[in-house]
Structure 1
Amino acid sequence: MPIATVNPATGETLRTYDTLSPEAVEEKLSLASRTFDTYRTSTFFDRARLLQQAADLLEADAPDIARVMTTEMGKPVAAARAEATKCARTMRWYAQNAQDLLADEHPSDQDVKDSGAARALVRYRPLGVVLAVMPWNFPLWQVVRFAAPALMAGNVGLLKHASNVPQTALYLEDLFRRAGFPEGCFQTLLIGSGAVEGILRDERVAAATLTGSEPAGRSVAAIAGDEVKKTVLELGGSDPYVVMPSADVARAARTAVTARVQNNGQSCIAAKRFIVHEDVFEEFRDAFVAGMRELRVGDPLDEATDVGPLASEQGRKDLEELVDDAVESGATVLCGGQRPKDLADRGWFYEPTVLADVTPEMRIHREETFGPVATLYRVTGLDQAIEVANDTPFGLSSNLWTGDEADIDRFVQDSQAGGVFVNGMTASHPALPFGGAKRSGYGRELAGHGIKEFCNITTVWVGA
C-alpha cells in the first residue's frame, strides 16, 4: 500500500512518500533504545515541562494541522481543530497528574510486618520502547492518548501510523522534537504493514499498542504473544444506543444524529445501532430521520459542512455493500442509502442513512458500519433492548437514555461493554479509562489505568 496523502474529497493524490529502508528502520530502533536508557531516569518535573511545551505548540498549530488532517482523511475542519485542542488538553492533564498516578504505593504497616519485611512498596517503572500502530480516523487523538501517558511514564515511542495520513504522522514526530524531548523519544516510521512484525519481534521493543481493525489486532496480538510482549488493543465497535419511554426523546434524537455521524460516521465509539422502546419509537424515528436529512454533506474544508467524505474509496465500497445486503434482505431505507447526486463525480461521499426493519440475518446486524449509516430497532422493553444491545461480537461502549434509576442500574449491570454512557453520547476524557470487551479489544487507555499499562509494576521488599 503506498504511503500518500490522497484527498478523499477529490480523489487527488497530493503527496507521496518513500517507505523507510531496513537500514533506516534499524537506525531508528537503535536510537530509541539508546534514548530510553537515559530518558527513563528523567524526573516527572522535566517530562511534564516538555509535555506542556508540546501542548502549547499544538494549540498554536491547531488551525494548520487541522487542515492537514482534513485533507488527508476528510473530517470536517471544525472537528479537526477540536481534535487538536483536545490533544493539547490531554497532554496538560498528564503533565499535571502523572507523578501522582505513578506514586509509590505503600501497604499497611501490618501487611508489611506480616510479609516479614522492614519496609515494602510498589513502584511503577517504564517498560521501554513501545510500538504504536495507529489508525487514520483520529490521526492526532489516537496517537496522543498513547504518547502522553507513555512519555510521562518514562517510555519512548515508535509510531507506525496509517498509510493515508503520513503528513500528520510526520508532524507528530516534529512536534515532540520542537517541544524539546530528547532525540529518539518519539519517532515516526513510514513503513508498510508488512514491516510491523519484524519491528515487534525486535528485542529492543518492549510492548505494543494498536488501535484499528479486528484483523490487525489479531495479527499484532499473535506476534506479541509469541514474543511474550505486553499489548493493548482497541478494536472495532458497534455501539448500541437505547432509548426508553422515560427519556427526553427529543434530546435523545438530536444527540443521536451527532453520535452517529461524528467524524463522518467513522468512529469506533460512534453509536451505530439505535434500539428504541415501542412506546416512543415513532417519535424518536421521525425526529432522528429528520435530523439526519438536514445534515449538510460536502467539502470538509467548508466550515458549514456537517459530513465530509469517507476516508477511502474502499471504505465507501465496504459501506455500500453492507447497506445493499440489508436492503436486498428486506431492510427499509428511511433516508439516504446512496451517493449524493451533486457529489457523484468527485470524492468518496455517502449520504447520512437510516435503515429500519433490520434482522439478525443481515450482515449489517453483526458487522461494524464505518460511515454515516444507522440501523433502527423497535423493542418491547428493557430486557429485549439489552438482548439486542449485546447481540454483537463487539463491546466497546454503550448508551442508555432513560429517567428511571432502575433502568440505569440494570443496564450498567448487564451491558457487555467497556463503557456505559447514560443520557449522553459516548466520549473520551483523559480522566476516564477507555477500552472495550469482547472483540473490541483489551487493556485500557487514558486515566491512571492507561498510564500504568506500559509500566513494570515492581514489588520492592526490604528485609530487616
Structure 2
Amino acid sequence: MSTIKQESISTINPATGETLQIYTYMPKSEVEDKIDKCHHAFTEWKQKPIGERGRIIQAIGKVMLENQDELSRLMTQEMGKLLEQSVQEIKLCAAICDYTAKNGSVQLQDLKRDLEDGERGIITFSPIGVIYGIQPWNYPVYQVIRYAISNLTAGNGVLLKHASNVTGTGKMLEELFVKAGLPEHLFTVLIIDHEQSDEVINHNLVRGITFTGSSEAGRGIGKKAGDALKKSVLELGSNDAYLVLEDADLELAVEMCVKGRVYNNGETCIAAKRFIVVDAVYEDFKKAFVKAMSDLKMGDPMGDDADLGPMAREDLRETMHQQVLDSVEKGAEILCGGKIPEGKGFYYPATVLGNVKPGQPAYDAEIFGPVASLIKAKDTHDAMRIANDSRFGLGGGIFSKDEEKAAKLASAHFDTGMIFVNTFGLAKPPMPFGGVKDSGFGREHGGFGIKEFVNVKSIILG
C-alpha cells in the first residue's frame, strides 16, 4: 500500500490541544535556492573582521531581549514550558551572544610555533562554509542559539531544520537575526521533512552537521554525515544520575533534585533523572523528595501559579507513561503520580518511582518528562558504580558538604561530560556542553563550540 506524503505541518498548543499554525513544506527548488543563497552570504561574511561579526552577534542578543515578550509567549504556546522559564531561556541566549562576541576573537586568534631549523609555524582557524543544524523542540530558542551563534561568530553560514512543533519560533528567530543586522540568508530556516533533510546533509555546499536529539536518531544522522565525509557534532539523550551522599545538606538536595527533575517540564536532556541516595540518608531523602514532588501543581504555563506545564506532545506523554507502566511491571513502585489526568492538554503529574532496578526503563532508558527514578546505594563507591552503569554520559550531580571531595569524585570517577555539585544542570556560556558514550560527541559553549566547524590550518614559514 502506498503512503500519502504529508504536505504540511501543524503547530499545536499542548495546554489546549488546539492548532496554532499550519506551515507548508518547501519544494526542492526552494530548498536548493536557500542553500545557494546561504553559501553566497557566507562567502561575504567570512571576509568581515571578527570584531565586526561580534558587534552583530551582540545585537542579536539585544534584539531578542527587546522582543522577549512576544518570543517567550510563542515558545510557551508551541511547547508548553512555563512562561517564566521561556523568559529565562531568552536571557540565557542573550548572555551566550554577549560571551561569544566578546571572546570569539581571543578563541580564534592565530597561534605561533617555533619550529626546528629556524622555521616558524602559524596556526589559523578559518570558517569552512554552511553548517546544517537539526534541532529539537524542548528549548526552542536555546537549541538554535547554542550552535548558530558560535558558527556565525566563526564566519560560517547556518541552516536550521527546527522540530516541526516549534516551527514558529524558528521563523521568528530568522526575522530577529536580520532585524539585528545579520546579512540576509546567512541564517536560514528550512521547513522540510526527513527525506529532504537527508538531501541537505548530502548537499555539496553543506560542510558540517550538528544534531541534538535522541541517541537513536543521532546514530542515523551520524552515519549519514559520515557517509558524506562531513564532520558532525551530536548532542544526544541521557539518564543523568544525581548522587546524594551521607554528608549532603538534605534540604538543599531535595530542593535542587526537584528543580533538576521538573525544570522545563522535565523535558531536558541534561535533567536529573536517576536519584542515587546512599543508605544512611535514603529514607529521610525519600520522604522529603516524594512529598515535594507530590506538592507540585500542574497548570496553565501562561499563568503565574503553576509549577509544571503540559508535555510538548500527546505522543510523548503516551511513550513516557508506557515506560512508567513497563517499569512497574518489572518491579518498580509508584511513590507518587503515575496517572494521566483527565481534561484538555497533555499534562502529566510529577512522578517518583521506587525500587528501580536494572532491566526497567526507569533504570536503563531516558525518561523525557517529570518522572524521577529513586535508587538506593550502599555507600559512595556503590553510588558511583550505579551512576556509571549507563550507556549514557551527558551530565550528573553530587550533593555533599565537602565540595573538594565532590569535585575530586567528579573528576576522577564520573563518566560524563558535565557534573554539577550541590546544584542542578543548566548551561553556562563559559563552560563546555556535551557528553560521552551514547550521549554523543563534540562540545558547545566555553570556547569549544566555536572551533568545532573551522579549518585548523598549519602555515609553515621557512
- TM-score norm. by structure 1 comes to 0.96
Q: Residue in 2 aligned with 1:279?
A: 280
State yes or no: 1:410 paired with 2:409: yes
Q: Does 1:454 align with 2:453?
A: yes
Which of 389, 392, 395 is 1:394 aligned to? Answer: 392
Q: Matched residues in 2 for 1:248 and 1:106: separation? A: 48
Deviations, residues 197-249 of structure 1 (Å, cap 9, x unaligned): 11110110000100111122111111110111110000001000000011111
Contact 2:159–2:189 under 8 Å retained in 1: yes
- RMSD over equivalenced CA pairs, Å: 1.1
What is the match of residue 373 of structure 1?
371
Are positions 1:99 and 2:97 aligned together?
A: no
Cα deviation 1:332-376 (Å, max 9, x = unaligned)? 111101123xxx121110010000001112122111000000000
| Contact 2:406 2:421 survives alignment (8 Å) | no
Q: Alignment partner for residue 57 of structure 1, among 63, 88, 94? A: 63
Distance 1:424 1:412 in 2: 16
The question of 1:36 aligning with 2:42 is answered: yes
Contact 1:353 1:373 in 2 (8 A): yes
Structure 2 equivalent of residue 419 of structure 1 = 418
Query: Distance in 1 between the 2:411 and 2:447 partners?
Result: 22
The 3-state SS of whatever aligns with 1:271 is coil
1:46-445 map, 5 Å: 46-107=52-113, 111-112=114-115, 114=116, 116=117, 118-340=119-341, 344-404=342-402, 405-445=404-444
Residues in 2 aligned to 1:143 and 1:347: alpha-carbon distance in whole angstroms: 26
Structure 1 portions without partners, runs of 5+: none
User: How many angstroms does 1:30 deviate by?
Assistant: 0.6
CA deviation vs aligned residue, 1:299-323 (integer Å, no higher than 9, x gap): 1111221110110111001111011
- Per the TM alignment, residue 407 of structure 1 is displaced from its structure 2 partner at its CA by 4.8
State how far apart, in whole Å, the 1-side matches of 2:374 and 2:362 are: 11
Kindly report structure 1 stretches of 4+ aligned residues shifted beyond 4 Å. none
Assess if the C-alpha contact under 8 Å between 1:124 and 1:456 holds in 2.
yes
What is the CA-CA distance between 1:118 and the residue it aligns to?
3.7
Shift of 1:117: 5.2
2:126 is paired with a residue whose SS is strand
Answer whether contact 2:39 2:186 (CA < 8 A) is retained: no
Amino acid at match of 2:53: R
Q: Deviations over 1:63-98 (max 9, x none)?
A: 111110001000000000110111011101111110
What amino acid does structure 2 have at the position aligned with 1:410?
L
Contact 1:4–1:165 (Cα < 8 Å) also in 2: no
Letter in 1 for 2:264: N
SS in 2 for 1:184: coil
CA deviations on 1:251-272 (whole Å, 9 max, x unpaired) are 1011100000011000000000
**Rounded Cα–Cα distance in structure 2 between residues aligned with 1:279 and 1:230:** 47
Question: AA paired with 1:178?
Answer: K
What is the one-letter code of the residue matched to 1:366?
A: D
Residue 15 (structure 1) aligned with residue 18 (structure 2)? no
Cα distance in 1, alignment partners of residues 328 and 428 from structure 2: 37
Unmatched tracts of structure 2, length 5 or more: 1-5
- State the shift of 1:422 in Å: 1.3
Deviates more, 1:173-182 or 1:152-161: 173-182
Contact 2:293/2:350 (<8 A) preserved = yes
Displacement of 1:330 after TM fit?
Answer: 2.0
Give the secondary-structure state (helix, strand or coil) at the position aligned to 1:124. strand
- Tell me the amino acid that sits aligned with residue 282 of structure 1: E
Q: Deviation of residue 290 (structure 1)?
A: 1.3
Q: In 2, are the aligned partners of 1:399 and 1:422 still within 8 Å (CA)?
A: yes
SS of 2:151's equivalent? Answer: helix
Q: Distance in 2 between matches of 1:86 and 1:276?
A: 31
Secondary structure of 2:112's counterpart equals coil
SS of equivalent to 1:267 = coil
Q: Partner amino acid for 1:59?
A: L
* TM-score normalised by L of structure 2: 0.97
Equivalent residue letter for 1:384? D
Question: Which amino acid counterpart does residue 204 of structure 1 have in structure 2?
Answer: L
Aligned residues: 455
1:254 and 1:287 in contact (8 A); partners too: no
Using a 3 Å threshold, how does the CA distance of structure 1 residues 121 and 80 change in structure 2: closer, same or farther?
Answer: same
**Counterpart contact for 2:131–2:157, Cα < 8 Å:** yes
The amino acid across from 2:355 in the alignment is D
Cα contact 1:158–1:188 (8 A) shared by 2:
yes
Q: Deviations over 1:46-70 (max 9, x none)?
A: 1111112111110011111111000
- Does structure 1 retain, via aligned residues, the 8 Å contact 2:256–2:422? no
